[in-house]
Amino acid sequence: MSKKLLLKDAHIEGIRYFETYRKQGGYTAAEKALKMTPDEILEEVKASGLRGRGGAGFPTGMKWSFLAKPEGVPRHLVVNADESEPGTFKDRYLMEFLPHVLIEGMLISSYCLGSNVSYIYIRGEYSWIPDILEEAIEEAKAAGFLGKNILGTGFDCEIYVQRGGGAYICGEETALLESLEGKRGNPRLKPPFPAVKGLWERPTVVNNVESIAAIVPIIDITGAEYAKIGVGRSTGTKLISACGNINKPGVYEIDMTITVEEFIYSDEYCGGIKDGKKLKACIPGGSSVPIVPANLLLRTVNGEPRYMNYESLADGGFATGTMMGSGGFIVLDEDQCIVEHTMTLARFYNHESCGQCTPCREGTGWMYKILKKIEKGEGKMEDIDLLWDIQRKIEGNTICPLGDAAAWPVAAAIRHFRDEFEWHVKNPELSQTQNYGLAHY
């Protein structure tokens, strides 16, 4: 059984409220942190090995150490709660059921970074959650954990919740900052990075909800103890939102030592494939990471078991591996059509492209149109090569990672399931009435 740090009290009735959270030991990590110096906290975060839980997996302590500290210029912490990656809903779970873990994590992080005004930018579709967060903020303030002179330390901190308008691109940190400033959410060219010029051109750290929540157990048990959980550079615990053709969709906390096979088939987690069907493929890190067929998902090319951690999932690179990404674990059974699935994703990325750069604006639309044609049985063999060519021209040629995110699913689908694309071309009549999965398994 995986160790629980973030969700250990999730089953307790009323844990959403300050009184219950406090009775369970809530805000003791904040009390401990406020007796430390900001540098001591930073050292604990570095020692923990925590990697950003939003998708990129960049070491959080290192990111914090890049924060510029010019004299007299305010700094900000911005929590990225714009959880819009298809298949990802673990931050929603944290904010909805354990809002005080996030608020406590924000207090500690704000103190460490020197942010007196911090923000939570939340996606517009999570319409009911800002009220939960604002209530938690008010409770923390009433108890002296936010506001002026917190616990007599002289440190002031206010937290504000800002609702987004429902654009996927605002999950990209610089687009988020533009939106938070009241502008259209277009990604900025980097450099300068937010750590130097972020919100209103002030030094800013943007971190994912889960990353900031993880600061609470890190301070609680120390960074060194946190680093002992997990394996290698995949330290601590990770929240995984599991969905698709499985018996038990939901949010699970794992310690990154379990195998993918155990995660899918164990009753503790996904409980196996629905209706006893066969596993066809999986996207383990949200829709932007490469899809992996069952044989490469359960084992690497060397025959080693594949584990639920950053290194093992990526083993073999994009040719045979994938990425931990945001932890949005999407399972596809034998009946799913990969071409239709890829087309659905292409439509999503085309719709969400902000339109600033040509390869993304035009390329995502072309990919969607070609995929639609193939899926309907109206494609030609050359269309598959054209699709491959377009995704190659998008990857690495755009301002922000949305271009790559749109290209990778198409590349992986063609690489691993080219036979399905060809089946659609060769069987135009069947393409319109049944999918490849039903016809071949």
* Closer residue to ligand SF4 (CB): 74 or 355: 355
Q: How far is the CB of 107 from ligand SF4 (least distance, A)?
A: 33
Residue with smaller CB distance to ligand SF4, 33 or 357 = 357
Least distance CB 165 / ligand SF4 (angstroms): 15
With respect to ligand SF4, which residue has the nearer C-beta, 344 or 356?
A: 356
**Hey, what are 179's tokens?**
């939106």
Residue with tokens 């992986």: 412
Q: In whole angstroms, what is the distance from residue 19 CA to residue 11 CA? A: 15
Give 30's contacts (C-beta < 8 A, 6+ positions apart).
104, 107, 108, 145, 216, 219
- Least distance in Å: CB of 305 to ligand SF4? 36
- Location of structure tokens 């069987």: 427
Under 8 Å between Cβ of 248 and 271:
yes
Please give the DSSP secondary-structure letter assigned to residue 290: P
Rounded distance between C-alpha atoms, residue 176 and residue 36, angstroms: 31
Smaller CB separation from ligand SF4, 198 or 223: 198
Nearest to 371 by CA among 329, 325, 407: 407
Nearest approach in angstroms of CB 346 to ligand SF4 is 13
Nearer of residues 81 and 354 to ligand SF4, judged by Cβ: 354
Q: Tokens representing 337?
A: 């059509």
Q: Would you say 121 or 168 has its CB closer to ligand SF4?
A: 168
The least distance separating ligand SF4 from the CB of residue 56, rounded to whole angstroms, comes to 15
250: left (phi over 0), alpha (psi -120 to 50) or beta: left
Minimum CB distance to ligand SF4, residue 350 (Å): 10
Number of alpha carbons in the 13 Å side-chain half-sphere of residue 127? 3
Contacting positions for ligand SF4 (CB under 6 A):
169, 187, 353-357, 360-361, 398-400, 402-403
- Strand, helix or coil at 233? coil
